[in-house]
Structure 1
Amino acid sequence: MSGLKKILHIDDDGLIQAIVKASLKASGGFEVLCVSSGKDALDVVEQYSPDLILLDAVMPGMDGRETLKNLKTKIDTEHTPVIFMTAQVSQEEIEGYRTLGASGIIIKPFDPMGLHKEIDKIILNRATGGDA
């Protein structure tokens, strides 16, 4: 997966966290740190130093958009790709995530066995200037 080793996954749903973590560990031995809120992500992101961030769009308290805005004050999101995971897939929503600086969007529900391939595609498109 394009040199990615450490993934920070931010999602308030424990079941989705477990599925993402198991899927990415099984598909390539990735280290996945799961946190349940934007606040928790802000608390750990600098120390954990992820290669990629998977970010749920809809969470109580600080939603994905606000979380990304705050993450940008802590890390360089130009070098650490952020991929939104969401069921909100209207063109307006997708454009809003891209405007905020998202590298791509993974639509929920997703295929756990194909998750690493979706991430690969987004990272490859990001590297080549394509559209994921």
Structure 2
Amino acid sequence: MTTKRILIIDDEYDIRAVAELALKTVGAWQVSTAASGSEGIAKAVAEQPDAILLDVMMPDMDGIATFQALQANPVTQSIPVILLTAKAQATEKRRFAELAVKAIITKPFKAMKLPAQIAAALNW
């Protein structure tokens, strides 16, 4: 079995660091990170990860705009995306559900359970 590669796109350093550590140690996955939507898109194109963990609320280019850009690009449109959000209200969840995302994980998340949540969402 090949090692899964996941890209974390989040503007908060602490969230990226905690998620990266959990995914590397518990999930035994290769992890790369990006601090903005535009950096994340560039890395997704270059690295072709197996999945993307994408923060919704980011400055400049938010997660929804980033997701739409990923979907519009033939090189990245087939990469599964999981949204990471602090907005857990029903209206936002419905809006996110209308997008073709694989899952929504709410912040704060339990770091040690994150790999299992992602694996379950993606049937890994």
Shift of 1:59: 0.2
1:96 has 2:95 as partner: yes
TM-score of the aligned structures, taking structure 2 as reference length: 0.91
The worse-fitting range, judged by mean Cα deviation, of 97-106 and 3-12 is 3-12
What amino acid sits opposite 2:68 in the alignment? Answer: K
Q: Secondary structure at the match of 1:94?
A: helix
Q: RMSD value over aligned CA atoms?
A: 1.8
Unaligned 5+ residue runs, structure 1?
128-132
Within 5 A, what are the aligned runs for 1:23-62? Answer: 23-62=22-61
Distance 1:12 1:28, change over 3 A: same
Is contact 1:4–1:51 with CA below 8 Å preserved after alignment?
no
Shift of 1:73: 2.1
Q: Secondary structure at the match of 2:72?
A: coil
Is contact 2:48–2:76 with CA below 8 Å preserved after alignment?
no
What amino acid sits opposite 1:19 in the alignment? Answer: V
Unaligned 5+ residue runs, structure 2?
none
Q: Distance in 1 between matches of 2:40 and 2:72?
A: 12
Q: Distance in 2 between matches of 1:76 and 1:40?
A: 14
Q: Secondary structure at the match of 1:28?
A: coil
Shift of 1:3: 6.5
Encode CA deviations 1:39-98: one digit per residue, 9 max, x unaligned: 101222111001000000000000000000001122353x32100001101122112112
TM-score of the aligned structures, taking structure 1 as reference length: 0.86
Q: Distance in 2 between matches of 1:44 and 1:4?
A: 18
Residue matched to 1:109: 108
The worse-fitting range, judged by mean Cα deviation, of 18-27 and 94-103 is 94-103
Is contact 2:34–2:40 with CA below 8 Å preserved after alignment?
yes
Name the count of aligned residue pairs: 123
Q: Percent identity?
A: 34
Shift of 1:29: 1.8
Is contact 2:3–2:30 with CA below 8 Å preserved after alignment?
no
